[in-house]
Structure 1
């Protein structure tokens, strides 16, 4: 579904991603793990059109999307839930969700997807008229995911969904991520919590200082010495 080939990204003089190649097959959850500053968020921003690659290609469903504008990427079926959630704080929960569907014209489909989001996240339904800035961190994360679902993506890019959340909330968010995947959305997940990232994924890639240093089935990656030592605290 998604094929990234020899991608090079620079921030000014900083070489942020170095010849990164990876692929995501339809129906999978693929996790990308690595330390802070490894280039994980940069990769998602490049896929979603926020950063232009210096060289290399990104193929989505057989067509190149490298360097396409962000709204064009949403239109072809890729939604990005950014790090730090980025909800529109002065707008209600419902208005945030409406914005997620801004490129769509199918009224009935939008209505059904509102219902789908509220079924996945009953708490958002309870707070639909509330200003998003007054929600808890966990609720804002739910809203950010819900807003992305309203664009009806085939591929969902999730950037650090567990960041700053209590373990019990993280567990519930990840159960919902698995549910979204079971309902047919392919997921590329960037996550610093390697344990939970590898427990939900089919396959995984490890990114270190802009390079892919390891990839394979999630279970194999979890059992590698590198990952045990660096990311799983030696377990």
Structure 2
């Protein structure tokens, strides 16, 4: 579904992504794990069109998308939940969700998806008229995920969904990610909580200073001694 081939990404003179190649098949949950500053978020930002690769190829469902504008990438069927949630603080929950559907004009479909977001996240329904900036961190994460789902993505890019959340909420968010995947959305997940990410993913890539150092079946990587020592606390 998504194929990244030998991309290189720079921030000015800094070579942030070095020749990485990643594949995501339809229906999978694929995770990128690695320390802070390894290049995980940069990879997602490049896929979603916020950054342009200097060299390399990104194809989504056979179409070359490297370097096309972010709004055009949403129209191809890719949506991103950004790191730090980035909800529109001075707008209500409902308005944030409506913005997620800005590329669509099918009113009945939008209403249907709004209902399914509220079914999946009942707390958002309770707070639909509340300003997004007044929600708790966990609720803002749910809103950011709901907003991304409103564009009906076939591929969902999730950037650090567990960041800053209490352990119980982290569990809930990961359960929701699995549900979203089961209902037909492919997921590419960037996550510092390697234990949780590897427990729900099919496939995993380990990023270190802009390079992929390991890749393979998520369960096998979770059992690997190198991965355990570096990312899973021994």
Give the TM-score taking structure 2 as reference length: 1.00
For the residues of structure 2 that align with 1:112 and 1:33, how far apart are their CA atoms?
Answer: 34
Q: How big is the shift at 1:84?
A: 0.1
Q: How big is the shift at 1:158?
A: 0.1
Deviations 1:155-183 (A, max 9, x none): 00000000000000111111111000000
| Residue of structure 1 equivalent to 2:36 | 36
**4+ runs deviating over 4 angstroms:** none
Deviations 1:34-78 (A, max 9, x none): 000000000000000000000000000001000000000000000
For the residues of structure 2 that align with 1:200 and 1:109, how far apart are their CA atoms?
Answer: 29
> What's the secondary structure of 1:108's corresponding residue?
helix
Q: How big is the shift at 1:223?
A: 1.2
Instruction: Output aligned runs, 1:1-235, within 5 Å.
Output: 1-234=1-234
For the residues of structure 2 that align with 1:226 and 1:41, how far apart are their CA atoms?
Answer: 23
Gaps in structure 2 of 5+ consecutive residues: none
Q: How big is the shift at 1:225?
A: 1.7
> What's the secondary structure of 2:38's corresponding residue?
coil
Give the TM-score taking structure 1 as reference length: 0.99
> What's the secondary structure of 1:20's corresponding residue?
strand
Aligned residues: 234
For the residues of structure 2 that align with 1:148 and 1:12, how far apart are their CA atoms?
Answer: 30
Gaps in structure 1 of 5+ consecutive residues: none
For the residues of structure 1 that align with 2:184 and 2:67, how far apart are their CA atoms?
Answer: 27
Deviations 1:76-96 (A, max 9, x none): 000000000000000000000
For the residues of structure 1 that align with 2:22 and 2:67, how far apart are their CA atoms?
Answer: 17
For the residues of structure 1 that align with 2:151 and 2:53, how far apart are their CA atoms?
Answer: 25
For the residues of structure 2 that align with 1:220 and 1:211, how far apart are their CA atoms?
Answer: 20
